[in-house]
Amino acid sequence: MKRLRQDEGSIVLEAALTMPLFMSFVVALIAFIQISIAEMALQSAVSETTKLMASHMYPVDVLYHEAQQQLGQSKLYAVYGSMIDKIDSARSAVQKAETFVDDYASWIPDPIVQIVQWEKEKREKMETMAQDEFKQYVDNVYKPLVNKAFVSIVANYANASVLNQANVKVTDVTLPDLDHKEEAFIGIEAEYELKLNIPFYRKTVHIRKKAYERAWVGAG
């Protein structure tokens, strides 16, 4: 009986020593799985958004170079202003006719139209502001506006069963240079705040993913 009690005591002691290690392993495994699933979902959302935006850049490129040819040596903000007028005119034709209008300008998505508008304002500010003042405008006004415009698109492609759309944030957007086709790439970097839902363990993890895609523009 004494020997049996010693064995039972040894088993209890070993269990007491190994159980915390086992529970830690289980907690770490659950956390790893949650993070991996969130990473894949965020990467998919960023990649799909980048592809979507890249595929809609061709009509923007066409409008941009048409406006350049028409306006000649005009300031760049005037070129972007002409593009916006063309888009508005094409959309108005669609709404009035309530039928299909074969005009590429009418089918440019709203987020890209908004970015063209902000780009016009940025070019105008560049002409009137001092260099340091313009840099502050780009960092504090222009970039946050562009990033915010992409949040809803990225969130729309996010798997709602995996990612909470309210926790998705776009941290950086690279827009294509329409004057240099070799640099015509669009890139998006997004961040997701993941709150690990694990027993006895509460921690928030910030996941970042980015994607780049060559914009669908004409040859240089």
Is residue 210 assigned to a domain? yes
Is residue 220 assigned to a domain? no
Category of 99 on φ-ψ map: left (φ > 0), alpha (ψ -120 to 50) or beta:
beta
Residues in CB range of 158: below 8 A, 6 or more apart: 41, 42, 45, 165, 168
Residues in CB range of 5: below 8 A, 6 or more apart: none
Is residue 103 assigned to a domain? yes
Is residue 205 assigned to a domain? yes
Contact 170, 192 (CB under 8 A): no
Whole-angstrom Cα distance, residue 81 to residue 103?
18
Number of domains in the chain: 1
Sheet containing 185-198, strands listed edge to edge, beginning at the edge strand earlier in sequence: 168-174, 185-198, 201-214
| Residues present in the chain in total | 220
Question: What values do phi and psi take at 219, rounded to 5?
Answer: -70, 150
Q: Which residues form the domain of 36?
A: 2-214
Per-residue pLDDT tens digits of the chain, which is 220 residues long: 544 444 455 555 565 666 666 666 677 777 788 889 999 999 999 999 999 888 877 777 777 667 666 665 556 556 666 666 666 665 554 444 444 344 445 556 677 777 777 777 777 777 778 888 888 888 888 888 888 888 888 888 888 888 888 899 999 998 887 777 777 888 999 999 988 776 666 788 899 999 999 888 766 5
* pTM of the predicted model as reported, rounded to 2 decimal places: 0.72
Is residue 144 assigned to a domain? yes
Is residue 219 assigned to a domain? no
